[in-house]
Amino acid sequence: MQLITLASAAALVATAAASPSPASNAQAFNLNSSTVDTLPKVRIFNRCPYKVYLWSVLTGLACPSGDGAVLDTGDFYQENFRPAVGGVGTSIKLSKTQTCDPDRLLQLEYYIETSKPGYNYNYLDVSYVNAATTKDCPTSSEGFYLKSGNENGKFASNGANTICPILSCNDWASCAKVAYVNWDDIQTKSCDPNANLDFYMCGGEAPGAEPPAAPQPPAAPSSSRPKVDTPAPSSPAKVEPVNAAAVTPAPAPVPNKPIHVKTEFVYVTEIAYVNAKKRHEHGHRHQHFHA
């Protein structure tokens, strides 16, 4: 598996913009030139049978005109989370085409809030809004698997799967239930800003798990009957007279003999474990942006 990174002087320029303008910053990538493994990050894995092209920009920017990173099958891309810039988060745009086509984009978006005590979370979502008409973007027909947090019991999901979620889908219909398709859907999730975000394209199974194997048809019966060896005829054997076998009388039944039955009693004790978790809820609704 190959790690794809993008290093460019222009890649860091956008982080200095207080309020980015799509016209002036359309080609200014907001990328990390390197990733510190010990810091929280987002990772994108390409399990698709085709190349995926990637641009990481400030949310709301128009499609960049330059080339993006190229993820071959088996490659992955990563970047450390960046705080929001002037109230704007990050959009990682993913496409099957080398040029960024605004009608054929899948977007993985995150917004790291750091200035509102009680609401300082990573607000994240998957968006098909820019491919709702064409349905032509990575994962649109193959699905995805997303995990936020849930590492060794840390940053665990809540019961509604809206906090530190695990999202899994296999086609357009199932993915539309966990991702944005219309701009006014409510599909923003949240997690601790220190929890990694992993996104696996193509296939709803968890990493390391294999998709269910297709049932194999039964073997067709053989069209020919098996060959049976027939012994060669032999000459008639001489028959000798045989005396009748002696008959041994059956033993007489023993009256009133008890039948011994061994009875075992098995006692089963049921123990229930209850794991009480502290859950937190919040009412912050992350504004969804178009490409």
Q: Would you say 31 and 79 are in contact if contact means Cβ atoms under 8 Å apart?
A: yes
Within a domain: residue 275?
no
What is the domain-level CATH number for residue 162?
2.60.110.10
Which residues are bridge partners to 80 per DSSP?
41
Instruction: State the pTM of this model.
Output: 0.65
What number is the average pLDDT over the span 120-134? 95
| Residue 252 lies inside a defined structural domain of this protein | no
pLDDT value at 262 more than 50: no
The more confident residue out of 23 and 41 is 41
Asked whether the predicted pLDDT for residue 77 surpasses 50, the reply is yes
How many distinct structural domains can be found in the chain?
A: 1
Six-digit token pair at 151? 């590492």
Burial of 35 (0-12, 13-18, 19+ CB in 10 A): middle
Residue 219 lies in a domain: no
Asked, for residue 239, whether it belongs to a domain, the answer is no
User: What's the burial of 104, exposed, middle or buried (CB within 10 Å: 0-12/13-18/19+)?
Assistant: buried
Task: Answer whether residue 25 is part of any domain.
Answer: yes
* Cβ contacts of 66 within 8 Å, gap of 6 or more: 27, 29
Q: Is residue 271 part of a domain?
A: no
Query: DSSP class of residue 163?
Result: B
Residue 46 belongs to domain spanning: 3-201
